[in-house]
Structure 1
Amino acid sequence: MKTEKATFAGGCFWCMVKPFDSYDGIESVVSGYTGGNVPNPTYEQVCSETTGHYEAVQITFQPEIFSYERLLEIFWSQIDPTDAGGQFFDRGQSYQTAIFYHSEEQRLAAEQSKQDLEKSGKFSKPVATKILEAKPFYLAEDYHQDYYKKNPAHYNRYSVGSGRAGFIERNWGGQS
């Protein structure tokens, strides 16, 4: 069956895997770095804010089973789309939000979903999430992959302590 890639930066990549990870039609969700200018960056390099990379997740999915538009809905419901400086207590460019499109169809769908969110009146501030052309994606270190499964207690403390879980519950009515 045909697969496509979707790439989203939503702040800390630990928190962006779980929301996408349990649906039919999604083959994989991996954590990594994209958007920057340093090949094969390390976590330490990305955190130094000198590489131009975002922490991101890349999803391999089967569009006939799970649509790109549905992925966009999940993405929006996991972030504060109005925060231009990062996400929750994670600050800096590497924690900003972005949708990285892999095709013209994805670009159009992402732009439409952003416009729909802006028009919805859900937020009083403008949507700050960028829509950017996909660049090379570099896998994060093994200890970052599936973090919510490997370290569930720490993951849950982080999600709550960072403010992400509360924001999602208040604004999107869902779980992080």
Structure 2
Amino acid sequence: MNDTAIFAGGCFWCMVKPFDSQPGILKVVSGFTGGHVPNPTYQQVSTGTTGHTEAVEITFDPEVISYEELVAIYWQQTDPTDAFGQFADRGDSYRPVIFYNSEEQKAIAEKSKAQLQASGRFDRPIVTKIEPAEPFYPAEDYHQDFYKKNAAHYNAYSEGSGRAGFIRQNWA
């Protein structure tokens, strides 16, 4: 039986490719969650008034890839010490959050966060939130699989935002 995971780690364009390429991943959808406006548009979310955050919903086969493995991949796409956005993207709609959909996912995420904090990899606290999943709303089609549809723009953005350099420096 397939399961889902929802992760917010800044711009959702940059959160698709790292999961999309893994065995056992059936689908990665860019969208919005955690806010109070049903079926928001990208335009609405970017105003910062909907309460939503950009996120990805990952459908996976837990017999091939575990939720624990997905959480480990998630950490390596983010700056877990920055609660107010990710890299060049600032504000609530870019905050880092692991949205759990079961008590088991919550326990795995909390344990993983505690292990990351204890590892000493970062000299600041790990501030990524772990919150219950809320309704997930897919973003417009042009945001889906952006790294495939607009590879040059995606690569320039990943580098220009500081994300790629941070990942190389802290997660290599």
Would the TM-score normalized by the shorter structure come out above 0.5?
yes
CA drift of 1:63 comes to 0.5
> Deviations 1:29-66 (Å, cap 9, x if unpaired)?
01000000100001011111111101000000011110
CA drift of 1:67 comes to 0.3
Aligned length: 172
- For residues 18 and 24 of structure 1, the distance between their equivalents in structure 2, rounded to whole angstroms, comes to 12
What secondary structure sits across from 2:98 in the alignment?
strand
The root-mean-square deviation of aligned C-alpha atoms, in Å, is 0.5
CA drift of 1:85 comes to 1.0
Tell me the residue number matched to 1:48: 47
> Deviations 1:115-151 (Å, cap 9, x if unpaired)?
0000000001101100000000000000000000000
CA drift of 1:153 comes to 0.2
Tell me the residue number matched to 1:150: 149
What secondary structure sits across from 2:8 in the alignment?
strand
- For residues 128 and 144 of structure 1, the distance between their equivalents in structure 2, rounded to whole angstroms, comes to 27
- For residues 25 and 161 of structure 1, the distance between their equivalents in structure 2, rounded to whole angstroms, comes to 31
Tell me the residue number matched to 1:84: 83
- For residues 84 and 54 of structure 2, the distance between their equivalents in structure 1, rounded to whole angstroms, comes to 14
Q: Identity over aligned residues, as a percent?
A: 67
Tell me the residue number matched to 2:110: 111
- For residues 53 and 3 of structure 2, the distance between their equivalents in structure 1, rounded to whole angstroms, comes to 20
Gap runs ≥5 in structure 1:
none
Q: How does 1:28-47 map to 2 (within 5 A)?
A: 28-47=27-46
TM-score normalised by length of structure 2 = 0.99
Aligned residue identity for 1:139: P
CA drift of 1:22 comes to 1.4
- For residues 133 and 83 of structure 2, the distance between their equivalents in structure 1, rounded to whole angstroms, comes to 19
CA drift of 1:87 comes to 0.4
TM-score normalised by length of structure 1 = 0.97
Tell me the residue number matched to 1:71: 70
- For residues 152 and 24 of structure 2, the distance between their equivalents in structure 1, rounded to whole angstroms, comes to 28
Tell me the residue number matched to 1:163: 162
Gap runs ≥5 in structure 2:
none
